[in-house]
Chain A
Amino acid sequence: MFIDIDCIQKRKNKEHTCGDYFISKRYPEISRLIAVLSDGLGSGIKAHILSCMTATMMAKFIEAGKDIKKASEIIMESLPICQIRKISYSTFSAIDCNEDGSVKIVEEGNPSFIWIHNSQIIEPEYVTVSSKKFTDRKVQVYNITLEENDRLIFCSDGITQSGLGTQKFKLGLRRQGLADIVTNVLKIAPTISSRDLSRHIISEALKCEEDLLPKDDMSAMCLFFRNPRQALVFTGPPYHNQRDNFYANIFKDFKGKKAICGGTTANLISRELNIPIENGKILASGSLPPMSYMKGVDLVTEGILTLTRAYEYLEQDEPVTNDDPAGRLTDFLLNSDCITFMIGAKINQAHYDPNLPIEIEIRKNIMKKIGHILETRYIKKVIFQYM
């Protein structure tokens, strides 16, 4: 199974920094994923530092193999208490999850998560552990097992308390309101990605406020346990052209969505697999060469320039999905979970002619960058294969 996870945040109105912090890391070799969402006391930079500290410590503890319960105890013991308000500095939800479905969750102070199984909300059992030093600090520890298509929804209290004090939501949206938002959207879009679901939660929570402005930092973190969406990107001709046919057949037999990035690469696949290339009547407009079309291939673009641009899009805070070939490629990547890159090592000397008006990246480098950002920022599973 694949764990599709994403978190969308909205900072409190008039603040420059979000006081909630989300961190997540995937360990493909051991089919494990760790994520922490922390909400720092107050808002702005101070809250940000507190939540960042908590989340990072928590993630490091779990990563190092510390029992999640033990880790949260240590953090509870060590986090200071606010001098003025006499309450703990930050709250958190930490998840340690395996692709076989077993999940360990620890919550301290955050609204308790929502588990959706077969369109029903399940209230799982938990154990409460309290701090030996500070009696008001308690963590809930859950051990649950997810099945295919299950979802978990976590949030900071900015979501459950949105609308607080307004005519319609005197007590805020609350956990029940959030649960309704989620179950309603799942009725219409049962396969919605975690990214879109998180975004939807934020926008619905904002609607609770009369002026549509967030009164507190808002984070919605969603987890979707499902069959992975496989994708293959084939870019660049193999180093030895005797191997063209071999690799073209791997491309053909791949189960999942497929993209070709590179004109020469497309020509090669077309020749080896006998699939004609349609170049379309429409000439390119804008600053990228146009797409072409091949039967059985979901996306065919030019190579390096398009890849370089797609990387630029991925680097932005909100990834751009412009309606140009690089935007389509960005979409293609973001809508997949496991992405295999087959990278040809043959180099076109002409690209490094010093007379070229712009500098062209080396394919291997740009692919490494794309792979890295997909893994770290977008939490995708990435496999590289050099040809």
Chain B
Amino acid sequence: MKKVITVKICLGTTCFVMGAAKLQEKLKSVLEKYGDSVDVKPVNCLNICANTDTQYAKAPYVMVDNDIISEATVEKIINKIEKGY
């Protein structure tokens, strides 16, 4: 069985106003081609934003499996899924 990649889009307050809303709309259609092998789900605040000394630059945050993507864009997410970086 193929491994399923989980994409968690943070829809917490900070990420939402920083563009997660638009991101998730775009992402939905872009990720369709992966079918069941990519599982996209919205999640509550990942608590990264609240961390003021965070090493991660900026919202919106997305998690692809266990990796955090900051200032997430569709391209960054696709890259992560395809190439693992």
Point out residues on A near B: beta carbons under 8 Å: 263-264, 266-267, 277, 279-281, 283-285, 287, 289-290, 292, 302-305, 348-351, 353, 355-358, 360
- 20 A-B pairs, CB-CB below 8 angstroms? A266-B44, A267-B44, A267-B45, A277-B44, A283-B25, A283-B40, A284-B21, A284-B42, A285-B25, A287-B21, A289-B11, A290-B42, A305-B13, A348-B13, A349-B50, A350-B14, A350-B59, A351-B14, A356-B18, A360-B17
Let me know if B47 is at the binding interface, CB within 8 A: yes
Chain A residues whose C-beta falls within 8 Å of the C-beta of B47 in the assembled complex:
264, 267
Interface residues of B in 38-66 (CB under 8 A from A): 40-45, 47, 49-50, 52, 58-59
Q: Could you tell me the distance between the alpha carbons of A350 and B47 in the complex, rounded to whole angstroms? A: 10
The list of the 9 closest CB pairs from A to B, nearest first, reads A263-B44, A350-B49, A263-B45, A289-B11, A350-B14, A263-B12, A348-B50, A289-B16, A264-B45
The answer on a CB contact under 8 Å between A289 and B52 is no
Q: Does B28 have its Cβ within 8 Å of any Cβ on chain A? A: yes
Chain A residues lying within 8 Å of B41, measured Cβ to Cβ, are: 279, 281
Which chain B residues lie closer than 8 Å to A357 at the CB level? 17-18
B contact face: mostly helix, strand, loop, or mixed: mixed
Within 8 Å of chain A (Cβ to Cβ): is B24? Answer: yes
CA A290 to CA B9, docked complex, whole Å: 12
| A264 and B44 form a contact (CB under 8 A) | yes
- Rounded to whole angstroms, the CA-CA distance of A358 and B59 in the bound complex is 14
User: Which residues of B are found within 8 Å of A285, using beta-carbon distances?
Assistant: 25
Q: A281-B41, A350-B59 are in contact. Are A302 and B11 (CB under 8 A)?
A: yes
B44 contacts which chain A residues (CB < 8 A)?
Answer: 263-264, 266-267, 277, 279, 292, 302
Kindly provide the distance from the CB of B22 to the nearest chain A CB, expressed in whole angstroms: 10
Contacts of A353 in B (CB 8 A): 14
Which residue on A lies nearest to B47, using beta carbons?
A264
A280 contact set on B, CB distance < 8 A = 42
The listed residue with most B CB atoms (<10 A of its CB), out of A267, A287, A348, is A348
CA of A290 to CA of B24 in the docked complex: distance in angstroms? 12
Residues of A within 8 A of B45 (CB): 263-264, 267, 348
Tell me what chain A mostly uses at the interface: helix, strand, loop, or mixed: loop
Instruction: Give A286 Cβ to nearest chain B Cβ, in Å.
Output: 8
Q: Are A351 and B13 in contact, CB atoms less than 8 angstroms apart?
A: yes
Which B residues form the contact surface with A (CB < 8 A)? 9, 11-14, 16-18, 21, 24-25, 28, 40-45, 47, 49-50, 52, 58-59
Per the bound structure, the CA–CA distance linking A351 and B50 in Å amounts to 8
Of the candidates B13, B40, B49, B50, which one forms a contact with A289 in the assembled complex, judged by CB atoms under 8 Å apart? B13
Residue of B nearest to A349 (CB): B52
Measured in the bound complex, the distance between the Cα atoms of B23 and A92 in whole Å is 57
Beyond the given A290-B11, A360-B17, could you list 5 further A-B residue pairs with CB under 8 A, ordered by the A residue number? A263-B11, A264-B50, A283-B28, A348-B45, A357-B18
Residue of B nearest to A263 (CB): B44
Report Cα–Cα, A356/B20, bound state, in Å: 13
In whole angstroms, what is the CA distance A292 to B40 when docked? Answer: 15
On chain B, the residues within 8 Å of A305 by CB distance are 13, 16-17
Nearest CB in chain A to that of B19: its residue? A357
Q: How far is the CA of A284 from the CA of B16 in the complex (A)?
A: 10
Q: A266-B44, A279-B43 are in contact. Are A284 and B11 (CB under 8 A)?
A: yes
B16 to chain A: closest residue by CB:
A289
Q: Within the assembled complex, what's the spacing in Å between the Cα atoms of A263 and B12?
A: 6
Q: Considering residues A263, A264, A266, A279, which has the most beta carbons from chain B within 10 angstroms of its beta carbon? A: A263
